[in-house]
Protein backbone atom coordinates (compact mmCIF):
# COMPACT_ATOMS: atom_id res chain seq x y z
CA UNK A 1 0.00 0.00 0.00
CA UNK A 2 1.42 3.37 -1.01
CA UNK A 3 1.63 6.10 1.63
CA UNK A 4 -1.02 8.78 1.77
CA UNK A 5 1.29 11.48 3.16
CA UNK A 6 4.94 12.18 2.35
CA UNK A 7 6.58 14.52 4.85
CA UNK A 8 9.81 16.13 3.64
CA UNK A 9 12.24 17.55 6.19
CA UNK A 10 15.36 19.44 5.05
CA UNK A 11 18.00 19.05 7.75
CA UNK A 12 21.48 20.58 8.06
CA UNK A 13 23.20 19.51 11.32
CA UNK A 14 19.93 19.22 13.21
CA UNK A 15 20.82 16.65 15.86
CA UNK A 16 19.43 18.94 18.58
CA UNK A 17 16.01 19.22 16.92
CA UNK A 18 15.32 16.39 14.50
CA UNK A 19 14.28 13.90 17.19
CA UNK A 20 11.64 16.27 18.56
CA UNK A 21 10.42 17.05 15.03
CA UNK A 22 10.05 13.35 14.21
CA UNK A 23 8.47 12.59 17.56
CA UNK A 24 5.86 15.29 16.92
CA UNK A 25 5.12 13.78 13.49
CA UNK A 26 4.71 10.36 15.08
CA UNK A 27 2.27 11.72 17.65
CA UNK A 28 0.35 13.70 15.03
CA UNK A 29 0.00 10.56 12.90
CA UNK A 30 -1.49 8.48 15.70
CA UNK A 31 -4.79 8.10 13.80
CA UNK A 32 -3.07 7.43 10.46
CA UNK A 33 -1.83 3.88 9.77
CA UNK A 34 2.02 3.94 10.04
CA UNK A 35 2.52 2.61 6.51
CA UNK A 36 0.54 5.55 5.16
CA UNK A 37 2.99 8.21 6.37
CA UNK A 38 6.33 8.41 4.57
CA UNK A 39 8.92 10.59 6.32
CA UNK A 40 11.89 11.76 4.23
CA UNK A 41 14.78 13.52 5.95
CA UNK A 42 17.09 15.25 3.50
CA UNK A 43 20.39 15.25 5.40
CA UNK A 44 22.15 18.23 3.85
CA UNK A 45 25.93 18.35 4.37
CA UNK A 46 25.52 16.96 7.89
CA UNK A 47 28.58 16.43 10.05
CA UNK A 48 26.65 15.43 13.17
CA UNK A 49 24.23 12.66 14.15
CA UNK A 50 21.21 13.98 12.23
CA UNK A 51 21.06 11.04 9.81
CA UNK A 52 21.54 8.44 12.53
CA UNK A 53 18.78 9.94 14.68
CA UNK A 54 16.43 10.10 11.69
CA UNK A 55 17.13 6.45 10.88
CA UNK A 56 16.38 5.46 14.46
CA UNK A 57 12.88 6.91 14.00
CA UNK A 58 12.37 4.89 10.83
CA UNK A 59 12.65 7.88 8.51
CA UNK A 60 13.95 7.54 4.98
CA UNK A 61 17.24 9.47 4.84
CA UNK A 62 18.60 11.09 1.70
CA UNK A 63 22.16 12.43 1.80
CA UNK A 64 22.37 15.77 -0.03
CA UNK A 65 25.02 18.41 -0.78
CA UNK A 66 22.98 21.24 -2.35
CA UNK A 67 23.34 24.80 -1.09
CA UNK A 68 19.83 25.86 -2.09
CA UNK A 69 16.97 25.16 0.28
CA UNK A 70 14.63 24.92 -2.72
CA UNK A 71 16.82 22.22 -4.28
CA UNK A 72 17.02 20.40 -0.94
CA UNK A 73 13.23 20.35 -0.61
CA UNK A 74 12.80 19.24 -4.23
CA UNK A 75 15.30 16.42 -3.74
CA UNK A 76 13.09 15.03 -1.00
CA UNK A 77 9.96 15.53 -3.09
CA UNK A 78 11.39 13.37 -5.85
CA UNK A 79 11.32 10.44 -3.43
CA UNK A 80 7.77 11.15 -2.29
CA UNK A 81 5.28 8.34 -2.91
CA UNK A 82 2.29 9.85 -1.10
CA UNK A 83 -0.72 11.56 -2.63
CA UNK A 84 -0.11 14.50 -0.31
CA UNK A 85 3.25 16.26 0.04
CA UNK A 86 4.07 18.11 3.24
CA UNK A 87 7.24 20.03 4.06
CA UNK A 88 8.35 21.05 7.53
CA UNK A 89 11.66 22.36 8.85
CA UNK A 90 13.65 20.17 11.21
CA UNK A 91 13.37 22.72 14.04
CA UNK A 92 9.58 22.98 13.76
CA UNK A 93 7.06 20.78 15.52
CA UNK A 94 3.56 20.00 14.25
CA UNK A 95 0.67 19.38 16.61
CA UNK A 96 -1.74 16.50 16.95
CA UNK A 97 -4.57 16.76 14.47
CA UNK A 98 -2.36 18.16 11.69
CA UNK A 99 -2.77 15.20 9.35
CA UNK A 100 -6.52 15.00 9.91
CA UNK A 101 -7.00 18.71 9.26
CA UNK A 102 -4.94 18.63 6.07
CA UNK A 103 -6.87 15.64 4.74
CA UNK A 104 -10.18 17.27 5.68
CA UNK A 105 -9.28 20.47 3.83
CA UNK A 106 -7.94 18.78 0.70
CA UNK A 107 -10.82 16.31 0.36
CA UNK A 108 -13.37 19.10 0.80
CA UNK A 109 -12.45 20.26 -2.71
CA UNK A 110 -12.23 23.86 -1.47
CA UNK A 111 -8.45 24.05 -1.06
CA UNK A 112 -5.49 23.68 -3.39
CA UNK A 113 -3.23 23.34 -0.37
CA UNK A 114 -1.64 25.84 1.96
CA UNK A 115 0.58 26.42 4.93
CA UNK A 116 0.59 27.07 8.66
CA UNK A 117 1.45 29.98 10.92
CA UNK A 118 4.53 29.17 13.02
CA UNK A 119 4.81 30.42 16.57
CA UNK A 120 8.26 30.83 18.10
CA UNK A 121 9.04 28.78 21.18
CA UNK A 122 9.83 31.93 23.15
CA UNK A 123 8.77 35.57 22.94
CA UNK A 124 10.58 38.90 23.30
CA UNK A 125 10.16 42.49 22.07
CA UNK A 126 12.96 41.94 19.55
CA UNK A 127 11.35 38.81 18.10
CA UNK A 128 7.99 40.59 17.88
CA UNK A 129 9.57 43.56 16.11
CA UNK A 130 11.46 41.29 13.72
CA UNK A 131 8.26 39.42 12.89
CA UNK A 132 6.64 42.76 12.05
CA UNK A 133 9.53 43.66 9.70
CA UNK A 134 8.97 40.46 7.72
CA UNK A 135 5.18 40.91 7.76
CA UNK A 136 5.46 44.45 6.37
CA UNK A 137 7.69 43.13 3.58
CA UNK A 138 5.20 40.39 2.69
CA UNK A 139 2.04 42.50 2.95
CA UNK A 140 2.23 43.91 -0.62
CA UNK A 141 2.56 40.36 -1.97
CA UNK A 142 -0.54 39.21 -0.10
CA UNK A 143 -2.51 42.25 -1.21
CA UNK A 144 -1.50 41.61 -4.81
CA UNK A 145 -2.41 37.93 -4.56
CA UNK A 146 -5.59 38.68 -2.60
CA UNK A 147 -4.80 35.88 -0.18
CA UNK A 148 -3.24 35.27 3.21
CA UNK A 149 -0.18 33.24 2.30
CA UNK A 150 1.16 31.28 5.26
CA UNK A 151 4.22 29.03 5.27
CA UNK A 152 5.97 27.07 7.97
CA UNK A 153 4.42 23.76 6.99
CA UNK A 154 3.32 23.42 3.37
CA UNK A 155 0.74 20.85 2.28
CA UNK A 156 -0.79 20.03 -1.10
CA UNK A 157 -1.48 17.13 -3.40
CA UNK A 158 1.63 15.84 -5.13
CA UNK A 159 -0.01 16.48 -8.50
CA UNK A 160 -0.36 20.18 -7.58
CA UNK A 161 3.24 20.28 -6.32
CA UNK A 162 4.40 18.83 -9.63
CA UNK A 163 2.12 21.14 -11.62
CA UNK A 164 3.88 24.24 -10.30
CA UNK A 165 7.33 22.66 -10.58
CA UNK A 166 7.99 22.40 -6.85
CA UNK A 167 10.25 25.01 -5.30
CA UNK A 168 12.14 27.47 -7.49
CA UNK A 169 15.80 26.40 -7.34
CA UNK A 170 17.01 29.77 -8.64
CA UNK A 171 16.15 31.21 -5.21
CA UNK A 172 18.56 30.92 -2.28
CA UNK A 173 16.01 32.31 0.18
CA UNK A 174 12.30 33.28 0.18
CA UNK A 175 11.55 30.08 -1.76
CA UNK A 176 8.70 29.45 0.64
CA UNK A 177 6.80 32.64 -0.19
CA UNK A 178 7.41 32.11 -3.90
CA UNK A 179 6.00 28.58 -3.56
CA UNK A 180 2.94 29.92 -1.73
CA UNK A 181 2.31 32.52 -4.44
CA UNK A 182 2.47 29.98 -7.25
CA UNK A 183 0.33 27.45 -5.37
CA UNK A 184 -2.24 30.16 -4.67
CA UNK A 185 -2.35 31.07 -8.36
CA UNK A 186 -2.86 27.44 -9.36
CA UNK A 187 -5.72 27.27 -6.90
CA UNK A 188 -7.29 30.44 -8.28
CA UNK A 189 -7.18 28.95 -11.77
CA UNK A 190 -9.11 25.94 -10.49
CA UNK A 191 -11.56 27.67 -8.17
CA UNK A 192 -9.76 26.62 -4.99
CA UNK A 193 -8.38 28.56 -2.05
CA UNK A 194 -5.02 28.71 -0.34
CA UNK A 195 -5.59 27.53 3.22
CA UNK A 196 -3.95 28.03 6.59
CA UNK A 197 -4.06 25.31 9.22
CA UNK A 198 -5.71 25.91 12.57
CA UNK A 199 -3.44 23.26 14.09
CA UNK A 200 -0.56 24.98 15.92
CA UNK A 201 3.00 24.84 14.61
CA UNK A 202 5.86 25.61 16.98
CA UNK A 203 9.26 26.62 15.60
CA UNK A 204 12.52 27.24 17.39
CA UNK A 205 13.88 30.72 18.02
CA UNK A 206 17.45 29.54 17.47
CA UNK A 207 18.24 32.22 14.86
CA UNK A 208 17.47 34.82 17.48
CA UNK A 209 19.45 32.86 20.07
CA UNK A 210 22.40 32.86 17.68
CA UNK A 211 22.29 36.34 16.17
CA UNK A 212 20.32 38.27 18.81
CA UNK A 213 16.64 39.11 19.08
CA UNK A 214 17.06 42.44 17.28
CA UNK A 215 19.39 41.32 14.49
CA UNK A 216 16.89 41.81 11.66
CA UNK A 217 16.50 45.44 12.68
CA UNK A 218 20.15 46.06 13.52
CA UNK A 219 21.30 44.88 10.10
CA UNK A 220 18.56 46.05 7.76
CA UNK A 221 20.89 45.92 4.76
CA UNK A 222 21.42 42.20 5.23
CA UNK A 223 17.75 41.65 6.03
CA UNK A 224 16.70 43.34 2.78
CA UNK A 225 19.27 41.24 0.92
CA UNK A 226 17.83 38.01 2.36
CA UNK A 227 14.30 39.09 1.46
CA UNK A 228 15.24 39.49 -2.22
CA UNK A 229 15.69 35.72 -2.49
CA UNK A 230 18.75 36.05 -4.75
CA UNK A 231 21.61 37.28 -2.55
CA UNK A 232 23.99 34.34 -2.16
CA UNK A 233 26.32 36.02 0.36
CA UNK A 234 23.47 36.98 2.66
CA UNK A 235 21.88 33.55 2.40
CA UNK A 236 25.17 31.79 3.12
CA UNK A 237 25.75 33.90 6.22
CA UNK A 238 22.21 33.38 7.48
CA UNK A 239 21.38 29.81 6.35
CA UNK A 240 23.93 27.68 4.58
CA UNK A 241 27.19 28.32 6.41
CA UNK A 242 25.89 28.26 9.99
CA UNK A 243 25.77 25.35 12.48
| In a domain? residue 130 | no
Spatial CB neighbours of 94, under 8 Å, sequence gap ≥ 6: 24, 25, 28, 88, 116, 153, 199, 201
| In a domain? residue 238 | no
23-40 pLDDT per residue, tens: 999 999 998 987 899 999
User: pLDDT value at position 155?
Assistant: 98
> pLDDT above 90 covers what percent of the chain?
94
| In a domain? residue 243 | no
Q: Where are the beta strands (DSSP E) in the chain?
A: 5-11, 37-44, 60-64, 84-88, 92-94, 111-116, 118-120, 151-157, 193-196, 201-203
| In a domain? residue 211 | no
In whole numbers, what is the pLDDT of the chain averaged over residues? 96
> pLDDT above 70 covers what percent of the chain?
100
DSSP letter, residue 67: S
Residue 155's domain is classified under what CATH number?
3.90.550.10
Distance in angstroms (rounded) separating the CA atoms of residues 21 and 16 = 10
| In a domain? residue 235 | no
Closest CA to 94 of 182, 185, 29, 172: 29
| In a domain? residue 141 | no
| In a domain? residue 178 | yes
Low-confidence winner among 106-110, 193-197, 222-226 (lowest mean pLDDT) = 222-226
As for how many domains the chain has, the answer is 1
pTM of the model: 0.96
| In a domain? residue 127 | no
User: pLDDT value at position 15?
Assistant: 98
Provide the residue range defining the domain that includes 115: 5-121+150-202
User: pLDDT value at position 243?
Assistant: 65
Amino acid sequence: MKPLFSVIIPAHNEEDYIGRCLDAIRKAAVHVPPQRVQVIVVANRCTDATAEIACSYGAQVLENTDTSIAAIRNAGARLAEGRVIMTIDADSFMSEGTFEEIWEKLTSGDYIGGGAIPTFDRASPGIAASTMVVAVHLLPVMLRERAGLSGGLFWTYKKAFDAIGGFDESLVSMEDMDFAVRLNRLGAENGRKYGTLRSPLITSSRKFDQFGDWYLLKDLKNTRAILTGHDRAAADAFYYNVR
